[in-house]
Amino acid sequence: MARLLSVNVGLPRDIAWKGRTVHTAIWKNPVGGRCRVSRLNLEGDGQGDLVGHGGEQQAVFVYQIESYRYWQQHLKRTDFVHGQFGENFTIEGLPDDAVCIGDRYRIGSALFEITAPRVTCYRVGIRMNEPRMAALLTSSGRPGFYFRVLQEGEVGAGDEIVKVGEAKERITVAEINALLYSPNHPRDRLERALRIEALSPGWHASFEALLQSQTTGAGSGNAGLAPAAAAHPVAPGFQPLAVATIDQESADVLSLLMRHPDDQPLQPALPGQYIVLRLGRIGVGPPLFRSYSLSGPLSTKRYRISVKIEPNGAAGTYLREHIRA
């Protein structure tokens, strides 16, 4: 029987990191006693980045104690505490390669539904004091997942996690995560993923774009499809990049040159590799995810991509209208 081991909450705060201030709620601390769960949050909890985290689709982040043990061994560390990975629920059981998007669970008096894998950002690396952590979480196939709250209630450490329903399409959290981040996006798998009603809108939009790119033949990376020659993205996980220059190559093609905000070296790239951008559209909707082939000389100082602005293309239009060097 799966079990809730710890309920963890934390409010956003500013921290100093590499010469700048980061607003984050990645630090979560265990709650004593029962905790009220609402549609959008746990009592006493908050998010620092409201574009990439929080909201009804990502009300509760869940991580497994089995993954704690994996990382303790992999990183050779013994200092982990509940909430270490920024999760609201530390649980026993429900591994990412067994639970599916749309599975429903009763915990305490509240009812939850799995909506998506965690989208890992660089803040978890700050919390862990391990700069590689975002990439490691993605590449390990141990992202954890988000709950939507279907019925508000109270939860507490020690509560049993009881499965009460599931989606018709059985695709695990690990499989959904790999479908976005791997270079291969089989059409039948995309179509299956899009049939899952519980899948969060952000992930749904990304898979729709991948499917559309196959239908229209837009295989340059503009709609999120990695080129067939690319075996892997340059690096899994996410980190912030600053746009150094924007060149208007033609009426409908932009080239962006990106660098690390602190001018630190970037992950070395190989010919044919690509990067995945997470575009946080503030006040517009959920983030977009798009894969773009590297279009410039290989460098650890800069990544260059070229983007064709398609009619009604959400990502290209966003880059053209909102991103500035």
Three-class HEC string of 117-167: ECCCCCHHHHHHCCCCHHHHHHHHCCCCEEEEEEECEEECCCCEEEEEECC
Residues 6+ apart with CB under 8 A from 303: 234, 241, 257, 258, 259, 266, 269, 275, 294, 296
Would you call 186 exposed, middle or buried from its count of C-beta atoms within 10 A (0-12, 13-18, 19+)?
exposed
Residue 300 is predicted with a pLDDT of 81
Greater confidence (25 vs 224) lies with 25
How sure is the predictor about 272, in pLDDT bands with cuts at 50, 70 and 90? low
pLDDT digits (tens, 9 = 90+) for 31-86: 999 999 999 999 999 887 665 566 788 899 999 999 999 999 999 999 999 999 99
DSSP secondary structure of 284-300: TSSPEEEEEEB-S---S
Residues 6+ apart with CB under 8 A from 1: 93, 160, 161, 162
Residue 317 has pLDDT above 90, yes or no: no
How sure is the predictor about 271, in pLDDT bands with cuts at 50, 70 and 90? low
Give the mean pLDDT of 106-130.
Answer: 90
pLDDT digits (tens, 9 = 90+) for 216-243: 554 434 333 333 333 345 555 567 888 9
Greater confidence (51 vs 5) lies with 5
Residue 1 is predicted with a pLDDT of 87
% residues pLDDT > 90 (the chain): 44
How sure is the predictor about 281, in pLDDT bands with cuts at 50, 70 and 90? low
Checking DSSP bridges between strand 89-92 and strand 60-64, what pairing results, if any? parallel
Cα–Cα distances (Å) from 292 to 212, 219, 225, 273, 324, in that order, read 15, 10, 8, 9, 18
Contact between 153 and 112 under an 8 Å Cβ cutoff? The reply is no
Q: What CATH number has the domain spanning 200-322? A: 2.40.30.10
End-to-end alpha carbon distance in the chain: 52
Report the alpha-carbon distance of residue 78 to residue 279 in Å, rounded.
35
Q: Which of 45-49, 133-137, 162-166, 214-218 has the lowest mean pLDDT?
A: 214-218
- Assigned architecture for domain 2-177: Beta Barrel (2.40)
Half-sphere exposure of 217 (CA within 13 A, CB side): 0
How sure is the predictor about 181, in pLDDT bands with cuts at 50, 70 and 90? confident
Rank 47-56, 252-261, 282-291 by mean pLDDT and report only the highest: 252-261
Domain locations along the chain: 2-177, 200-322
Residue 291 is predicted with a pLDDT of 77
Give the mean pLDDT of 77-98.
Answer: 96
DSSP secondary structure of 204-261: HHHHHHHHHHHHHT-TTTTTSPPPTT--SBSSSS----EEEEEEEEETTEEEEEEE-T
Give the mean pLDDT of 7-35.
Answer: 90
